Amino acid sequence: MSAPIIEFKNVKKCFGETVIFSDFNFKVEENEIVSIIGPSGSGKSTLLRILMTLEGIDGGYINVAGESLWHMPWQGQYVPANNKHLHKMRNHLGMVFQHFNLFPHMTVKRNITEAPMRVKGVSRAEAEKFAEKLLQLVGLADKADSYPNDLSGGQKQRVGIARALAMKPSILLLDEITSALDPELVDEVLDVIRNLVKEESFTMLLVTHEMYFAREISDRVCFFDKGAIVEEGEPEAIFTQPKEERTKAFLNAYIGQ
Ligand SMILES: Nc1ncnc2c1ncn2[C@@H]1O[C@H](COP(=O)(O)OP(=O)(O)OP(=O)(O)O)[C@@H](O)[C@H]1O
């Protein structure tokens, strides 16, 4: 079997005195779709933010696509990664955020082309051509020149997905991408992800409260509690277990919604 594309080994993460992960171990295989479900405050977003290099770690190490993400071996010791290395590692990953995080002063098209042009040095013509393709994919071909404030929440999030894909990541991180949306807008966003995985192979790590979506789309579902995975398995095995065998983690996830 090939090496996992994501691997956390003995990872420690604290915010001040608060320990989020004390000894966290986790692997994701290439092209695997993994959902993370768990109560508020259990460390799900922190996990994605660490992978996206938006947060550092306090111990252990993480491999992404065969390379150390945060700490680099140097003369037999692990030292924090430099900016050039983080930059390179970020190219493997794309993230879609709960609150869209679009630039309000830029058009939809600019929101999508900005990172490929600035970070990857892609030409404007090439970035715009790809942006048009992505806008078609998310059903917003007619919104290229609109500003985020003129879009509905669902449309904003579809731009968020297009923006993440613009960097051609091999790993997509989705952080509760529908939880800021009105219920009637949830499916238009989930449909984009459904179509995406039908057409292309992706490694995807999604934090979600949408149980039916996790069940439908994932190869593996992980229940998180207090910075640890307390239950995991194929969705059909987990979601079809008899009522009396349901674990505390599973029930908590439902109650936590
Ligand atoms: N930048 C930060 N500084 C201090 N504490 C933080 C920071 N980010 C997160 N935390 C704390 O770390 C814990 C885990 O937060 P995290 O956002 O990862 O949880 P979560 O499982 O994603 O929760 P939710 O489902 O509510 O989004 C929480 O107690 C949170 O308050």
Give the C-alpha distances (Å, rounded to integers) separating 239 from 197, 223, 228.
21, 12, 20
**How far apart are the C-alpha atoms of 77 and 37, rounded to whole Å?**
35
Q: Residue 229: beta bridge partners? A: 224
**Which residue out of 21, 37, 44, 52 has the highest number of ligand 1 atoms within 8 Å of its CB and is therefore the one to mutate?**
44
pLDDT tens-digit series, residues 160-173:
999 999 999 999 99
**Ligand 1 atom closest to the CA of 47, numbered from 1:** 18
pTM: 0.91
Residue 175: burial class (beta carbons within 10 Å; 0-12, 13-18, 19+): buried
Tell me what the pLDDT averaged over the chain comes to.
Answer: 90
- At 199 the pLDDT is 84
The domain spans of the chain are 99-168
pLDDT at 113 exceeding the cut of 80? yes
Q: Which residues 6+ apart lie within 8 Å of 42 measured at CB?
A: 224, 225, 226, 227
Residue closest to 159 by CA, chosen among 171, 172, 141: 141
**Ligand 1 atom closest to the CA of 55, numbered from 1:** 1
pLDDT tens-digit series, residues 177-230:
998 888 888 999 999 999 988 888 889 999 998 888 999 999 999 998 888 898
3-state secondary structure of 20: strand
* Full DSSP string of 50-89: HHTTSS--SEEEEEETTEESSEEEETTEEEEPPHHHHHHH
Residue 146: burial class (beta carbons within 10 Å; 0-12, 13-18, 19+): middle
